[in-house]
């Protein structure tokens, strides 16, 4: 930055010198007909422009390097902060809005930092240099000319306020457009299934129309600002030609002095016009910065407390003591007491919305409890570092999250330090090895966004291999087989059996048939544990578990009956 500033000063001084050289060129060459000067002045002009070009390259390259580095650091800071925010923030904020913040809003700042700030610094130095030239040539005429500048500042300020409001509104609409675009692309299967293409196009067209209208408002302001500045500049130059020409005719000034002054004024007009034009980009940058720093200033709800320590490996149990949790104002769990021993397989069942997933999400501190305490081996999980806590927990969910990368890298996501042999072993244990070997590029096959090029069972076995590779002592399975067909479920269940061996496991189950052999089953209803025991014990109680079992058994029986009838009709 310091070297760039020196180069900018060089550009400004040499630009000013270009205006100054007009005086000796006219007075000494054209009027006095000095033969020496006719040879020296062209050489001086070449030297001036060569030097100016060298300084310009230095300033332009260096200042852009600084500007681009600032923007790159800012983008990284935004993404880093996004990763530190709690899950509740992502539930409240649409994905498209966050993408817009990182790309569009930071892009607005980039325009202000990398381009406008560069121009402002150069033009400011140039204005200072040329102002010195015009005062040196004719201070009286310069004072008269300077009276036009305060008049030019008034519209700049007014236009600036208008442009900032327009830019803020524009960025909000861009965020809405990004949200619609993201939803339309990620939900393309549902859009096509319900033949809602035209509906989605209309929604998108409506947002694009709003964006068009706000952009045209920006265009109107700029369209007025430019000719107004041109008019003010023209009035100023016209007055100088009239007044300066009178001074030359009266003999109080030489033609060289006047034309040098006029050249400097004409050259001065360009950077002043640029400065007024830069105001638009600055206001857009400020509007983008407000939204970006609003995100950066959002504190993470889940964070390490001061003096947090690393959690030792689990040896005894996980315990919930009088745990309550509410999301916004809705109570999800209330006065929950539960102890899970090391190596125990605990199944959690209940109707949808009862609080099953919330219960297990509190263990890795995806959310913080409202009341009570959760401890591992007697240590409150809020007293340990989040990284040490989550490093001991493996998770496999119904919604399989995979990345648009290779099979190898998706499995290695469980622990990037593991060797090739350990990745292969994890795939074997997850019953994924055979289908991976059949893929076009095997381990180097790109699986597409969210693993779209794999079947549901294959995706789930990749996620199980990822959890196996992590080798965490605590395992959370959140309805890991509920969305699979029978054949896939059998394969995945065998992989899950391998995964659960020797681990403290909490299983949220939709199909009760998959948890018959669990060490213990708890039933959650309306945020409270209402029953607890083994499969046969709970059936004998005739309570909530029995209701769930009979309901599911009836559904399975109905499906089986319908299948038999269909088969008989086909055979008939």
Q: Angle, nearest 10°, between helix axes 148-186 and 139-146?
A: 50
Average pLDDT over residues 357-380: 87
For residues 477-516, one letter each, b for 16 or more C-beta atoms within 10 angstroms of the residue's C-beta and e for the rest, the string is: bbbbbebbeeebbebbbebbeebbeebbbbbbbbebebbe
Measured distance CA(444)–CA(221) in Å, rounded: 53
Residues 155-214 pLDDT 10s: 666 666 676 677 777 777 877 777 777 767 666 666 666 676 777 788 788 888 888 888
Residue 154: the pLDDT is: 65
Average pLDDT, the chain: 77
Measured distance CA(256)–CA(288) in Å, rounded: 48
pLDDT tops 80 at residue 347: yes
Q: Angle, nearest 10°, between helix axes 35-84 and 2-20?
A: 150
Residue 567: the pLDDT is: 44
> What stretches of 262-314 adopt beta strand conformation (E)?
none
Q: Tokens for 191?
A: 């859009």
Percent with pLDDT over 70 in the chain: 75
Helix (H) or strand (E) holding 397: strand 393-397
Closest by CA position to 333, among listed 304, 295, 374, 294:
374
Compute the radius of gyration of the chain from its Cα atoms: 36
**Neighbour count for residue 529 (Cβ, 10 Å):** 19
Residue 233: the pLDDT is: 65
Residue 562: the pLDDT is: 46
- Token look-up 């998108």 returns 204
Residue 132: the pLDDT is: 76
**Neighbour count for residue 153 (Cβ, 10 Å):** 10
Q: Tokens for 528?
A: 């409270």
pLDDT top residue among 227 and 365:
365
Q: Tokens for 546?
A: 């029995």
Q: Tokens for 32?
A: 């006095």
Give 304's contacts (C-beta < 8 A, 6+ positions apart).
385, 386
Residues 521-568 pLDDT 10s: 888 888 888 888 888 888 888 888 888 888 776 655 444 444 444 444
Closest by CA position to 266, among listed 15, 449, 85:
15
Q: Tokens for 455?
A: 């079947």
Residue 189: the pLDDT is: 63
Alpha helices for 348-455 (secondary structure H): 356-361, 386-390, 407-412, 420-429, 433-437
Residue 489: the pLDDT is: 67
Q: How many angstroms from the chain centroid is the CA of residue 189?
A: 25
DSSP letters along 444-490, please?
Answer: G-B--GGGTTS-HHHHHHHHHHHHHHHT-SEEEEESTTTTS-HHHHH
Residue 371 pairs in a beta bridge with 324
pLDDT tops 80 at residue 28: no
pLDDT tops 80 at residue 37: no
Measured distance CA(516)–CA(536) in Å, rounded: 8
Residues 420-479 pLDDT 10s: 888 888 888 877 888 888 888 888 888 777 777 887 777 888 888 888 888 888 888 887
Secondary structure (3-state) at 240: helix
Question: In order of start, what are the domains of the chain with their CATH numbers?
Answer: 69-296 (1.20.1560.10), 305-392+505-564 (3.40.50.300), 393-471 (3.40.50.300)
């Amino acid at each position: 930055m310091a070297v760039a500033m020196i180069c900018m000063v060089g550009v400004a001084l040499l630009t000013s010198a270009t205006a100054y050289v007009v005086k000796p060129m006219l007075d000494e060459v054209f009027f006095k007909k000095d033969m020496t000067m006719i040879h020296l002045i062209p050489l001086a002009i070449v030297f001036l422009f060569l030097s100016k070009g060298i300084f310009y390259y230095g300033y332009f390259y260096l200042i852009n390097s600084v500007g681009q580095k600032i923007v790159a650091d800012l983008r990284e800071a935004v993404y880093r902060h996004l990763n530190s925010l709690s899950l509740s923030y992502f539930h409240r904020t649409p994905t498209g809005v966050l993408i817009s913040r990182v790309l569009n809003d930071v892009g607005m700042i980039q325009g202000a930092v990398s381009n406008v700030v560069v121009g402002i610094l150069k033009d400011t130095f140039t204005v200072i240099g040329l102002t010195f030239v015009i005062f040196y040539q004719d201070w009286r005429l310069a004072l008269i000319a300077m009276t036009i500048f305060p008049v030019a500042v008034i519209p700049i300020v007014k236009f600036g306020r208008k442009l900032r409001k327009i830019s803020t509104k524009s960025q909000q609409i861009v965020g809405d457009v990004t949200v619609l675009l993201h939803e339309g692309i990620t939900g393309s299967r549902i859009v096509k299934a319900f033949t809602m293409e035209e509906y989605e196009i209309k929604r998108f067209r409506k947002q694009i129309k709003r964006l068009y209208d706000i952009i045209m408002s920006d265009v109107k302001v700029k369209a007025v600002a430019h000719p107004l500045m041109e008019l003010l500049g023209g009035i100023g130059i016209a007055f100088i030609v009239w007044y300066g020409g009178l001074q030359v005719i009266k003999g109080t000034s030489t033609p060289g002095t006047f034309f040098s002054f006029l050249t400097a004024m004409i050259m001065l007009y360009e950077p002043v016009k640029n400065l007024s034009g830069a105001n638009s980009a600055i206001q857009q940058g400020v509007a983008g910065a407000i939204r970006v720093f609003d995100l950066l200033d959002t504190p993470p709800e889940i964070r390490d407390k001061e003096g947090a320590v690393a959690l030792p490996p689990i040896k005894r149990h996980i315990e919930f003591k009088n745990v309550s949790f509410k999301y916004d104002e809705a109570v999800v769990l209330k006065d929950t007491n539960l102890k899970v021993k090391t190596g125990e397989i605990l199944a959690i069942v209940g109707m949808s919305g009862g609080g099953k997933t919330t219960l297990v999400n509190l263990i890795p501190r995806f959310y913080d409890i409202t009341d009570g305490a959760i401890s591992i081996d007697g240590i409150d999980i809020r007293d340990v570092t989040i990284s040490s806590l989550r490093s001991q927990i493996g998770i496999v969910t119904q919604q399989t999250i995979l990345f648009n990368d290779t099979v190898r890298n998706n499995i290695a996501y469980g622990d990037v330090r593991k060797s090739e042999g350990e990745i292969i072993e994890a795939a074997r244990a997850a019953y994924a090895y055979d289908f991976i070997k059949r893929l076009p590029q095997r381990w180097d096959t790109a699986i597409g966004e969210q693993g779209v090029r794999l079947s549901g069972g294959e995706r789930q076995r990749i996620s199980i291999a990822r959890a196996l590779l992590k080798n965490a002592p605590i395992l959370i399975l959140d309805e890991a087989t509920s969305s699979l067909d029978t054949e896939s479920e059998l394969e995945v269940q065998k992989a899950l059996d391998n995964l659960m061996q020797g681990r403290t496991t909490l299983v949220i189950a939709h199909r009760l048939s998959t948890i018959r052999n669990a060490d213990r089953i708890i039933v959650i209803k309306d945020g409270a544990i209402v029953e607890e025991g083994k499969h046969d014990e709970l059936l004998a109680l005739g309570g909530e578990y029995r209701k769930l079992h009979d309901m599911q058994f009836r559904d399975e029986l109905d499906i089986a009956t319908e299948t038999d009838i269909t088969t008989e009709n086909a055979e008939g």
